[in-house]
A and B are shown apart, each in its own frame.
Chain A
Amino acid sequence: MDYFLQQLINGIQLGTIYALIALGYTMVYGIIKLINFAHADVFMIGVYTAFFTATWYQVPFPIVIVVAMVVCAIIGVTMEKIAYKPLRYKPRLSALITALGVSLFLENFCALPFVFGPEYRSFPELIPLKRYVIWKTYDVSVTNIFLLNLGVVSVLLCGLFYLVNYTMIGKKMRAVSYDKATASLMGINVDRTISFTFAIGAALAGASGVLYGLTYRSIQSPYLGIWPGWKAFIAAVIGGIGSIPGAVVGSYLMGISEVYANSINSNIGFGMAFVILILVLIVKPTGLLGSKEQEKI
């Protein structure tokens, strides 16, 4: 029982990391119907940015996370301007392939020796680990890092919720995601709105990167974004791509089931996610909380 609960906590932890990445995927898809495969690599850049900021400058955690979010936001916006904007009105397939290309480029470029390099790094202990036993009978404990994760994601989610539903820019984002052409006719600067969306999504991924480094402490290589990226993406799709609550729900589902599946057989862990995805898509093609896109015939 204690193992079960402890794994649940691990699952929530993992889900938190995924959630922040998944939000970026879902927001970008919602607004320009593009699966930004390179999003996972923005996450990776967040991890490395946090690493370098913490190691070189010895700054405290809050600054690290802000720096990472800003850097990632810049990368996200740049990516959009250079590679995706030119293809906005071209067939979707071209943009998808381009996204794949950008992703591969970022990974391999960062792996070059004079950039990040392919070697393993250990994330510094920014915050000394403290364990709190929360359920004496079952010996279940949480760490302060875990609580920090929950705290950060709560703050960011609240911020996002407020942004999307109660601000002007949020309204513009929603308008553009419904109908680009009409939104522009109503005076909304579509380009800027899209850039802003990318920036927010990328910043969230950056935050996730920082939490990832802080929690798991090991930086394998610049390819570290691939697996979390795909998992987060699948989570977003399961939850209903384009739906913000869906991304969150899907991520926690994904994180928890992955942890449990891994404890049964580590080889299954990977495949598990995909099996769930396939099942969900076949039964409910638009995801758990997604909505059907109407095509005019």
Chain B
Amino acid sequence: MRSLLKRHLVITALLLLYIVISLSYRFELLNTYVMQLIMFAGINVVMTVSLGMINGFTGQFSIGHAGFMAAGAYSSIFLTTVIFQLTGTALPGKTLWGYLLFFLALGIGGLVAAVTGFLIGLPTLRLKGDYLAIVTMAFGEVIRTIIRVSEPLGGPRGVGGIPEYTNFTIVFLFALASIWLMRNFLLSTYGRASRAVRDNEIAAEMMGVDTTRQKVLVFTISAFFAGCAGAIYAHLLQYIHPDNFTFMKSLEYLIYLYIGGASTISGAITGAVIFTFIPELFRRFQAWRMVIYSLTLVLVMLLRPDGILGNREFRFLQRSQK
């Protein structure tokens, strides 16, 4: 009974949040800039939580996550922008047809990223720890290089004129859906298998879990969400460039994840939200921003390695039946 009430509480709270933000924007209490920041928060949350699936829950060390974002971003704009630019036809704009195209592009972005994750995961997830980290970073850069040398994708100049299909509602629903799905995965037998791989890979293998298959599965699913996030990102920024998805970007998500707490979804969310909004407080001290981030990261690792949130999940993300 209590859990049901708790869940209703959560749904109500989320609804309230949505309404408050939407109305504030509508009545100009929040300007466009803050609204964009809020949308970035949503994107960052999905990126961080998906990274957490691999690093936190399955115990692997993937440090090229921005590569999946890039794959999703670039493949999505192909449908909504590039095709029109190449053939010289007019963009559909914010019509029903345009939005349908966008949702299709969103799905394609996710799928392309997922396939990329699968293809990368298959050969490399046999590698352990440090080696895996190196290879994932390498693949992130390879993806970027491929984009840079592809003329239809704008090469090193990037692609502009992307229609702004992303809005707060879409980001909000996307973030919610993504978190819900990833949470379900992690609370199921698939999540248990992942954590088993993390805690003791050899024992997991001895219990019938094909650890390579499990790692590749998590990798692929995580990449899917990162790819979708990338698609949403592209249609928010309206102009993307290979340098949007460098190793630095991957590092950012790593920082959000590990400071918030890598082994929980709540940690990932917290890290992403904090680090999307905190830099705004540092607007004046731009140069110091990364200095403080990095110092915080080191301090957290030395003093509280489980992250700010430690091992605890928010109530509504845990199982409803014990």
Contact = CB atoms under 8 A, between A and B. Distances in A.
**Complex contact flag A–B (Cβ < 8 Å):** yes
Interface of A: 29, 33, 35, 83, 86-87, 90-98, 100-105, 107-109, 111-113, 118, 230, 233-234, 237, 241, 265, 267-268, 270-271, 274-275, 277-278, 281-282, 285, 297
30 contacts: A86-B302, A87-B301, A87-B302, A93-B129, A94-B301, A101-B294, A104-B293, A104-B294, A105-B294, A105-B298, A108-B291, A108-B294, A109-B291, A111-B287, A233-B134, A241-B130, A267-B145, A267-B148, A268-B149, A271-B142, A274-B138, A274-B145, A278-B124, A278-B138, A278-B139, A281-B131, A281-B134, A281-B135, A285-B131, A297-B202
B122 to A, nearest CB: 10
B29 interface: no
Contact of B134 (A83, A94, A237): A237
A90 to B, nearest CB: 7
Contacts of A96: 61, 130, 133
A92 B301 CA distance: 11
B295 interface: yes
Nearest to B257: A97
Interface residues of B, number: 43
A107 B155 CA distance: 28
Contacts of B135: 277-278, 281
B301 A112 contact: no
Contacts, number: 116
Given A234-B134, A285-B131, A104 B290 contact: yes
B290 to A, nearest CB: 4
Contacts of A92: 129-130
A20 to B, nearest CB: 20
B176 interface: no
Nearest to A112: B287
Given A94-B301, A113-B287, A271 B258 contact: no
A33 B133 CA distance: 14
A266 B196 CA distance: 44
Nearest to B258: A97
Given A104-B290, A271-B141, A277-B138, A35 B301 contact: no
A98 B297 contact: yes
Nearest to B140: A274
A103 to B, nearest CB: 8
Nearest to B289: A108
A108 B255 CA distance: 15
A188 B101 CA distance: 67
B288 A112 contact: yes
Contacts of A278: 124, 135, 138-139, 142
A63 B149 CA distance: 44
**9 shortest interchain CB distances as A-B pairs:** A271-B145, A104-B294, A101-B297, A274-B138, A105-B294, A108-B290, A101-B298, A98-B301, A108-B291
A105 B251 contact: no
B208 interface: no
A101 B146 CA distance: 28
A35 B130 contact: yes
A93 B61 contact: yes
Contacts of A105: 291, 294-295, 298
Nearest to A238: B134
A108 B252 CA distance: 14
A111 B288 CA distance: 9
B127 A285 contact: yes
Contacts of A237: 131, 134
B192 interface: no
Contact of B298 (A83, A91, A234, A297): A83
Contacts of B310: none
B88 interface: no
Nearest to B290: A108
B298 A102 contact: yes
Contacts of B145: 267-268, 270-271, 274
Contacts of A268: 145, 149
A97 B254 contact: yes
Contacts of B258: 97
B94 interface: no
Nearest to A285: B127
Given A237-B131, A278-B142, A94 B305 contact: yes
Interface in B263-290: 287-290
Contact of B149 (A97, A234, A265, A282): A265
B319 to A, nearest CB: 26
A205 to B, nearest CB: 19
A281 B127 contact: yes
Contact of B297 (A35, A104, A241): A104
